[in-house]
Amino acid sequence: MAGPILVFDSGVGGLSVVQALRQRLPEAALAYACDNAMLPYGQREDAWLVQRIRAVCEAAVAASGCSALVVACNTASTLALDVLRECLAIPVVGTVPAIKPAAQLSRTRHIGLLATRATVSRPYTLQLIQDFAADCRVTRVAADALVIEAERLVAGELPDRTILCQALAPLWEDPDLDTVVLGCTHFPLLAPWLAEAAPRQVTWIDSGEAIARRVAQVVTVFAPRQGDTPSFVTTPDERLGRGLATFGFASPRLLHPA
């Protein structure tokens, strides 16, 4: 029998992808896993991170009995998708910054990429820009502080407006920039606050819908949603557990990555 679709992130960012998946596949059983012990991923060294992502995903796939894995993390996907596809026997869908749709939408040909420090400088990201936005100016902004603000939000606190404004500031240096890619899955959770903190109107784009579309193509037979929706963490955290509950997940179980 088919298992749930497992959504993986370092922290709560994957919940923005969960929202998109529930819209597109409301009947599908989901599970959620996050490596909260090692959050934030955006500040970690690449070689170490690849091994860690592999170990956590292997443990979570085994524990959930899932039929597909959604790597709902740009920082992990731009680094470790190939490794995960090699070591796992199930379909793996990744998340990469929505550079292509942003380039299609921008009228001024100046777009912003808001992501973790790691994602904004990865060769994978630079290649995406070259392939799909070669005729655009792309302002890349490392905004790791927003990861923590999204974590705080899901834990029940309001984001700090000063931190948001500081993180966004480099985007506004050129009045021509008209489109901003949210290249970290944590950021769509902050969408209303980001829009409010922006000094002018721009188009914000994330990858949630595109991922859900891709999952619907890849996972043709899925387990129906019923009973508990399991979640997995790598270190106990009561506030995170309460946050996951507000997104419909059962009390998290502890993973033991090798």
What is the footprint of ligand DGL within residues 25-54 (CB under 6 A)?
39-42
User: What is the rounded CA–CA span in Å between residue 201 and residue 212?
Assistant: 27
Which of 36, 67, 106, 119 contacts ligand DGL by CB under 6 A? Answer: 119
Tell me: does residue 75 bind ligand DGL (CB under 6 A). Answer: yes
184 is catalytic: yes
Cα separation, 130 vs 125, in Å, equals: 9
Q: Does the footprint of ligand DGL cover residue 232 (CB under 6 A)?
A: no
Spatial CA neighbour of 129 closest among 76, 78, 174: 78
Site string for ligand DGL, 142-181 (x = CB under 6 A): -----x----------------------------------
| Binds ligand DGL by CB under 6 A, chosen from 4, 9, 99, 189 | 9
74 lies in the binding site for ligand DGL (CB under 6 A): yes
Give the one residue of 73, 113, 215, 240 binding ligand DGL; rule: CB under 6 A.
Answer: 73
Q: Does 116 bind ligand DGL (CB under 6 A)?
A: yes
Per CB under 6 A, the segment of 51-59, 70-78, 216-224, 231-239 that binds ligand DGL is 70-78
Distance in Å, CB of 116 to ligand DGL, minimum: 4
* 7, 34, 186, 231: which one binds ligand DGL (CB under 6 A): 186
Catalytic annotation on 73? yes
Paired tokens of 151: 């974590």
Catalytic machinery residues: 73, 184
Contact positions vs ligand DGL (CB under 6 A)? 9-11, 13, 39-42, 73-75, 116, 119, 147, 184-186
